[in-house]
Amino acid sequence: MNLSYLYGKLIKKLHGTCVINSCIDNTSVIGRSCNVVNLAMDKYSYFGDCCQIVNAEIGAFCSISDHVFIGGAEHPMVWVSTSPVFQNVRHSGPSKRFAKFDLPKSKKTIIGNDVWIGHGVTIKQGVVVGDGAVVGSNALVTKDVPPYAVVGGVPAKLIKYRFPQEVIDRLEEIQWWNLPDEKISGVVDLFHIMNPSLEDINRYFPEIP
């Protein structure tokens, strides 16, 4: 192992992650070099490296790739200037010499359960991404995404739905992501069936009306 390799490894490790005022389930994981403020993240979710998440709720079993921005701050466009030097905000930008005015509070962004967000996605503050949705790489999401929709592009548009509507409705009724781990372990074979039908799902959850 040569010195420059070790040096590279060290520098990578030093790119720390900053988590402020957040509640992250201990089964969930945050990548390197992330900036996280006011986040509530449920069980078995993760996001990759270099993400910025501000004022958001993320459900369970979400897969969030690298370089994803969720709920970033917005500068006031209706003031004479958008520059933060006029705003009473904590930031690492330029001098706050003229800071006098408070910014309106940012809107909370909600990411449902079992959501997959691809590489380089930006999700505007206040957007709601439904359970089971998929956001394609490099999308800019400006509007709510329905459950189990696959969206992509700038601005993001509907590409398709993952499953037929009857299957989506049933998954939303069951809310398997809220079940205890032992129950999920008991039905885990369902998670390997491609394009499961309503009958497949009901076979594994006969007791849920």
Active site residues: 75
* Segment lying near ligand COA (by CB under 6 A), choices 19-27, 36-44, 81-89, 137-145: 137-145
Shortest distance (Å) from residue 129 CB to ligand COA:
13
3-state secondary structure 128-188: EECCCCEECCCCEECCCECCCEEEECCCCEEEEECCCHHHHHHHHHHCHHHCCHHHHHHCH
Beta carbon nearer to ligand COA, 58 or 134? 134
Shortest distance (Å) from residue 19 CB to ligand COA:
21
* Segment lying near ligand COA (by CB under 6 A), choices 14-22, 49-57, 81-89, 134-142: 134-142
132 touches ligand COA by CB under 6 A: no
Q: Which of 119, 125, 126, 198 binds ligand COA (CB under 6 A)?
A: 119
- The 10 Å CB-count burial string (b at 16+, else e) for 163-180 is beeebbebbeebebbeee
Q: Which of 136, 148, 163, 177 binds ligand COA (CB under 6 A)?
A: 136
Beta carbon nearer to ligand COA, 84 or 152? 152
Provide the 3-class DSSP secondary structure of residue 208.
coil
Provide the 3-class DSSP secondary structure of residue 23.
strand
Q: Which of 145, 152, 170, 171 binds ligand COA (CB under 6 A)?
A: 152
Beta carbon nearer to ligand COA, 20 or 159? 159
3-state secondary structure 113-124: CCCEECCCCEEC
What DSSP letter does each residue of 68-100 carry, written as one string? -EES-----SSSS---GGGB----SSS--TT--
β-pair partners for 109: 56
* Segment lying near ligand COA (by CB under 6 A), choices 27-35, 69-77, 135-143, 189-197: 135-143
Inter-CA distances, 47 with 36, 55, 66, 87, 192, Å: 11, 15, 7, 30, 23
Q: Which of 65, 87, 109, 122 binds ligand COA (CB under 6 A)?
A: 65
Binding site for ligand COA (CB under 6 A): 65, 118-119, 134, 136-139, 150, 152-153, 159
